[in-house]
Structure 1
């Protein structure tokens, strides 16, 4: 059985992590690099390494140390637009840990790497103490992506049914936050704030 090391990315890992990500957007997504969607890939340090509540994890092949998989988390909730307003309101920035860039090179898939990386991201989010929920979206056209995320979370919005867009939004149901729960309220305002008005 092949051995892998899951770890926080170091400055020495950023170029190879970026290569995994760019290969994925070209090969699996078929879009290539699109700045408005993939700008974080170019500035991995600024997007995930430098901010205290963000992280970039990599899986390194135990044989040669090559980065073969990535996974990131940040505190930015989904923006509206392009995401549906109700999704953006349900997952506000600062309170939402958004999973991003969970990518595994094809020759290293089906070995549990994505699941291990996501588990480590959930541990990171729980240790932060300020996240209420864990959110992500995926392109169901990518082989295996939808089934993988359905095995780990709950669909909160399937845009194929609503707008014809190829995006499915998930919440990771196994995440247990230590942050105080805030009631949902109209217009994304916390219920306790509305009661004080």
Structure 2
């Protein structure tokens, strides 16, 4: 059995974290790198390590020191567009801890890493004291993503039910102070 360390990313972790993120958007999402959606992936230090209320966590495989999973949090909240207006209004910037980039390399999945990372992000948001809620969205076309989020978060908007299907994204909230 492998042993993993969940921790706040250090500068020396950024190349490994970026590789996990880029591999995920190419392999699992099939979109590849799209600057308007993935700019934080290219410069995770500016997006997550510099702002005081943001964080980037990594899961490190203790056997070889490699970064095998990521999870990030920022205070931006979902924008409208592209997200539905009711979602953006429910989760305003500054008051919303938005979970992002919860990605696990395929060979390390089904070992509880995503759950541990999410729990650590929620603890970070709660310790901040200024966040009212935690928000995230997922593409249900990604295998396992929707089921995972339904197991630990409350679905608040399913765009597949909107007229025209929206972007097909499912939006979730994780209560803080649970």
Tell me which interval the TM-score lies in, with the shorter structure as reference length. Answer: over 0.9
Aligned to 1:170, which of 151, 167, 172?
172
Asked whether 1:117 is paired with 2:117, we answer: yes
User: Counterparts of 1:174-185 in structure 2 under 5 Å?
Assistant: 175-176=176-177
* SS of residue in 1 equivalent to 2:161: helix
Q: Give 1:8's aligned residue.
A: 8
Q: For residues 123 and 65 of structure 2, what CA distance do their matches in structure 1 show?
A: 23
Q: 1:129-144 to 2 correspondence within 5 Å?
A: 129-144=129-144
Task: Quote the Cα distance in structure 2 between the aligned partners of 1:119 and 1:65.
Answer: 22
Shift of residue 69, structure 1, vs aligned partner: 0.1
Query: What is the CA distance between 1:176 and its match in structure 2?
Result: 1.2
* CA apart distance, 1:2: 1.1
1:70 paired with 2:70, answer: yes
Instruction: Give the Cα–Cα distance (whole angstroms) in 2 for the partners of residues 64 and 113 of structure 1.
Output: 17
Q: 1:118, 1:112 → 2: CA distance?
A: 10
Displacement after TM superposition at 1:4 (Å): 0.0
How much has 1:166 moved relative to structure 2?
1.9
Q: Distance in 1 between matches of 2:87 and 2:161?
A: 15
Q: What corresponds to 1:181 in structure 2? A: none
The equivalences for 1:24-173 within 5 A come to: 24-162=24-162, 163-164=164-165, 165-173=167-175
**Normalising to structure 2: TM-score of the pair?**
0.97
Which runs of no fewer than 5 residues in structure 2 stay unpaired?
A: none
CA distance in 2, matches of 1:104, 1:25: 12
Superposed CA RMSD in Å reads 0.8
Task: Give the distance between the partners of 2:138 and 2:172, measured in 1 at CA.
Answer: 8
In 2, the alpha carbon distance for the partners of 1:87 and 1:167 equals 11
**Structure 2 CA distance for aligned equivalents of residues 92 and 41 of structure 1:** 23
Divergent runs of 4+, >3 A:
none
Larger radius of gyration: 1
